[in-house]
């Protein structure tokens, strides 16, 4: 499960309707960090053009998704996976910095929680993550 996916998840149980944050990552037994895609070229001109276009797409994606992110939840999730490099808040200047936006794209799209546990802060309900897939199925009584 990518950190972008985690950031938009919510516990749909009726008891958790007051929360606007994703469940916290309380256990991360297996994570996967993919390499930057743009760094994989072998040096040819076509590869350089392709890498530059990919880099521009990554920066634009990060720039457009940044305003809708739950930043505090992203910082906590990254920290739970051992990535402590995200700043506690994002200034206007930082939001326009290309290096920061590329790094943000990397954290959102290339860092995966493979196995672990998510816990709702409101209800205490735990959601296991196995093979990158979170089980958020609710019991019938949780939906009422």
Per the document, the length of the chain is: 144
User: Cα–Cα distance between 131 and 116 in angstroms, integer?
Assistant: 9
Q: Choose among 22, 2, 24: nearest CA to 11.
A: 22
Q: What is the DSSP letter of 34?
A: P
Structure tokens at 46: 């076509």
Q: Which of 28-32, 84-88, 112-116 has the lowest mean pLDDT?
A: 84-88
Q: What is the mean pLDDT of the chain?
A: 90
Looking at residue 77, its pLDDT comes to: 97
Looking at residue 48, its pLDDT comes to: 83
Q: What is the DSSP letter of 96?
A: T
CATH, domain 3-142, list 1.10.3720.10, 2.60.40.10, 1.20.58.340, 2.20.25.10: 2.20.25.10
User: Cα–Cα distance between 89 and 33 in angstroms, integer?
Assistant: 23
Whether the per-residue pLDDT at 126 is higher than 50: the answer is yes
The arithmetic mean of pLDDT across residues 120-141, rounded, is 92
**What are 31-71's pLDDT values in tens digits?**
999 986 544 445 556 778 888 998 999 999 999 999 999 99
The CA-CA-CA angle for residues 52, 55, 59, to 5°, reads: 140
Domain locations in the chain as residue ranges: 3-142
The arithmetic mean of pLDDT across residues 87-102, rounded, is 96
Looking at residue 41, its pLDDT comes to: 46
Q: Give the containing element (helix H, strand E) for 26.
A: strand 24-33
CA–CA distances in Å: residue 85 to residues 9, 38, 91, 100, 136: 23, 21, 15, 11, 29
Say if residues 22 and 134 touch (Cβ distance below 8 Å).
no
The CA-CA-CA angle for residues 113, 116, 118, to 5°, reads: 95
Say if residues 134 and 118 touch (Cβ distance below 8 Å).
yes
Looking at residue 37, its pLDDT comes to: 57
């Amino acid at each position: 499960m990518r950190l972008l996916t985690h950031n938009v998840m919510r516990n749909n149980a009726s008891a958790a309707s007051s929360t606007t944050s994703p469940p916290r990552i309380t256990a991360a037994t297996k994570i996967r960090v993919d390499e930057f895609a743009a760094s994989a070229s072998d040096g040819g001109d076509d590869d350089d053009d392709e890498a530059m276009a990919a880099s521009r797409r990554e920066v634009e994606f990060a720039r457009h998704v940044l305003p809708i992110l739950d930043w505090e939840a992203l910082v906590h999730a990254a920290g739970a996976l051992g990535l402590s490099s995200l700043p506690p808040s994002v200034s206007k200047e930082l939001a326009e910095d290309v290096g920061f936006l590329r790094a943000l794209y990397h954290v959102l799209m290339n860092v995966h929680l493979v196995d672990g546990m998510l816990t709702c802060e409101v209800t205490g309900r735990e959601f296991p993550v196995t093979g990158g897939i979170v089980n958020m199925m609710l019991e019938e009584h949780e939906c009422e």
